Amino acid sequence: MNQTQTPWILLDTETSGIKASVFVVELAAQRMCGWEPEGEPFRRLLNHNADMSPEASRVNGYTREILERDGDPPLDVYTDFAEYVGDLPLVSYNLKYDLDSVLQPEWSRLGIAPIGQRGFCALELTQRLLDPVPAGNHKLQTLRQYYRLPERGAHTALGDVETVADLMQQVLRSLAEQRGLSTWDEIVNFAAATWFPSRIAFGKYKGRDYHEATNDPDLHGWLEWLAQADNPRSAAMGRWYLDQLESGPPFAETQPPVTGAPASDSGEVVVYQAAEYATLSSLVADARERLADLEAQYTQEHHAVEVVRSQLFEKLRPYYQKRDELELKISYRRKYLDSLLVGGEEEAEEVEREHEQAQAETKKQYDEIARQAVQNQPLSDEEEQELKRLWRKLVRLYHPDRYAHDPEKQELYTRLTSEINRARDRGEIQRLREIAEDLDGFLAREGLGGLNLDDDSDLKKLRALYDSLQARIMELLETLDELRESSDYELYRLTQEQPGLLQKVADAQASDIATELTELEAEAAKLAEEIENLTGAPNAVG
């Protein structure tokens, strides 16, 4: 069955505490069809006539009094829940907790037959698809903030269900499709498969990517030692890492390790820091190359979309401007009438002056948009090639943590990167040229002082830079995806395939706006007549 057609249930619980006996105090669920929500969600409060732990109340906001007032008897809730679920598989962001530790024991305690069937753990799916996780951890609210998902009710069952659904649709779906996971069974098996994080989470190599063992004999030896550990889980982890290395590393080959590193003062052998530095430097270089390509690609496509938008604006400007003028006139004529009836002619005259100012501001805005539209011209093949070269220079400025403890430098860095991003989004290649070709001169002309852009030789900082570059790459990929999913991009794409389409779109929109203008003119005239009847003077507010 295709994943886009498979029905299942996404659920979450809020409980009375974390120690036995745990009671469900809120149960929420959403029927899903593939990656998309389907129909209305299920959400109920349950009254077990039991106390809430203070810790749980602080998190979810529920008290015994609230549950006794708003909650329903558990048997009634689960009867309705069983009808909502049917025999569909159950999924949650921590299935072992919600299903195994909470719901199944509660059903057993209440004498209720199991509801639904076991699906997959959304947390396990997330861990595998977002590895290494750019947000730093897999906590649901952390991911919501990192990926700018809609704000829901944090630490409520329904809010968490909605956030997981957002995460599924906006982040995990594309990653799963990139891996070729297209059926329900493939998703279930992928989420349940043995897996360990690519970044080692403990010990002397904490924070290292196990793939680096390809070029670091000491790290590889440590993984071999781990595979022989007495602890079964540790041994399984070591064997898994070694098995993955045999299938081939995801990174391109880097420089060979530098051997013969000296011993430390304590007599311990230094673990090939030169080799690790060489590896990280190579990975940073690769990440910058990838980031430069993505920045150039985004700049090209974003500019192309803006060109089409500008062309459409030029064709429709008279209609847009007339509509805005009428809407402004109607708004102020209504305000004029309100002021006249309550505050008299003096207040009404002030409204007239406000309207004149608003008219001037609107005209100024249209003139500015028109000026920018004239500047938006398609990029030539030479300019597109130049963009790639410029971005290869500009990405060396990416040092997000370099000045964290120097507020003055941090402000300077923030202003510089903001200027780069503004130039990118406006397609101002000349501005990008100025920055890339002569950074010191640009900073001096802008009165921004100077920055040290050399890579730090400290391994920890270099690793942080690599992680930040990877996070920026993922963020930019998502931004590019958002652009390509927009209606403006779809219009741009279609106009490339159908040269006469833009004029047809403009004609259709002009026709629609013309109809709207007729209605607005009638409303404006009616208000003008009402004002003239009251004041005996025409032309108030336009």
Distance between first and last Cα of the chain? 64
Residue 362's pLDDT is what? 83
Q: Is the residue at 24 inside a domain?
A: yes
Higher pLDDT, 443 or 104: 104
Residue 334's pLDDT is what? 87
Tell whether the model's pLDDT for residue 456 goes beyond 70: no
Q: Is the residue at 205 inside a domain?
A: no
> Do 88 and 55 fall into the same domain?
yes
> Do 363 and 469 fall into the same domain?
yes
The DSSP annotation for 471-539 comes to: HHHHHHHHHHHHHHHSHHHHHHHHHHH-TTHHHHHHHHHHHHHHHHHHHHHHHHHHHHHHHHHHHS-S-
Nearest-5° Cα angle at 435, 432 to 438 = 135
Q: Is the residue at 317 inside a domain?
A: yes
> Do 260 and 295 fall into the same domain?
no
Contacts of the segment 340-349: beta carbons below 8 A, 24+ positions apart: 340/531, 340/534, 340/535, 345/535, 348/540
Q: Is the residue at 422 inside a domain?
A: no
Q: Is the residue at 85 inside a domain?
A: yes
Residue 103 is classified by DSSP as: I
Tell whether the model's pLDDT for residue 294 goes beyond 90: no
Q: What is the pLDDT of residues 342-393, one digit of tens each?
A: 777 778 778 888 888 888 888 888 887 777 666 667 777 777 777 778 887 7
Count of structural domains within the chain: 3
Q: What is the pLDDT of residues 463-489, one digit of tens each?
A: 777 877 877 777 777 788 788 888 888
Q: What is the pLDDT of residues 257-291, one digit of tens each?
A: 322 233 333 333 333 355 566 777 777 887 788 78
**Of the candidates 306, 298, 14, 313, the residue with the CA atom closest to the CA atom of residue 154:** 14
Q: Is 425 helix (H, G, I), strand (E, B) or coil?
A: helix
Instruction: Output b/e per residue, 134-150; b: 16+ Cβ within 10 A.
Output: beeebebeebbebbebe
Residue 112, CB-side half-sphere exposure with 13 Å CA sphere: 19
Tell whether the model's pLDDT for residue 315 goes beyond 50: yes
Full domain range(s) for residue 222: 210-273
> Do 391 and 504 fall into the same domain?
yes
Q: Is the residue at 445 inside a domain?
A: no
Over residues 206-213, the mean pLDDT reads: 86
Residue 36's pLDDT is what? 93
Q: Is the residue at 439 inside a domain?
A: no
Q: What is the pLDDT of residues 220-252, one digit of tens each?
A: 999 999 999 888 888 999 999 999 998 754 433
Q: Is the residue at 278 inside a domain?
A: yes
> Do 265 and 342 fall into the same domain?
no
Question: Has this prediction a pTM greater than 0.85?
Answer: no
